[in-house]
Amino acid sequence: MVKNKRAWIKIVEAFMAIALILGFLILLLNLKWSQSEDYSLLEKNNLEILRGIQGNSSLRANVFSSDVGLNSSSETFPESLRSYLDSNIIPGEACYLYICDLDSGCPVEVLPEKSVYASEVLLFATSSVYSPRKLKISCMKDEI
């Protein structure tokens, strides 16, 4: 009885090809998953910072008493907001707060070869001031 050894070799080759393709796909999906986890963590942290400012009456009052169009890198930006931002950002990230008017856009500084993650909230009034503002945070991270 003669066995056909070529058939077994073809089966092994097909199995190895499928295993190689699946391994490559798993590697790609793993990279995508880790990048989306980084984004999710950044987005969650950005929203926590913005909600913290929304809920704190003194920080909120600082937003309304500031000029529109400021960002946290300008000299006239309220120090309490800047220190709150610095104490709550993820280490290794460069984050900026922007105080903008509702009708105008908030220009975000973008550096080349950086990924920018931005979130915003609307603030409408304090007990003494009605001057709607948009508070925006943008964080930059090096490309992976």
What is the residue extent of each domain of the chain? 5-142
Q: What is the DSSP letter of 90?
A: P
pLDDT tens digit sequence for 6-40: 888 888 999 999 999 999 888 887 776 665 556 67
With the CA atoms of 101, 91, 84 and 131 taken in that order, what torsion angle do they form, in degrees rounded to the nearest 10? 10
Query: Each residue of 78-137: pLDDT tens digit?
Result: 899 989 998 888 887 888 888 888 877 777 766 666 777 788 888 887 677 677 888 888
**Cα 1 to chain center, whole Å?**
68
DSSP state of 109: -
DSSP bridge partners of 123: 133
Retrieve residue 141's tokens: 């991270």
Q: What is the pLDDT of residues 39-52, one digit of tens each?
A: 677 888 888 999 99
Question: Cα 91 to chain center, whole Å?
Answer: 13
Q: How far apart are CA 59 and CA 81, in angstroms?
A: 6
pLDDT of residue 144: 46
Whole-model pTM: value is 0.66
The CB density around residue 1, as the number of other CB atoms within 10 Å, is 2
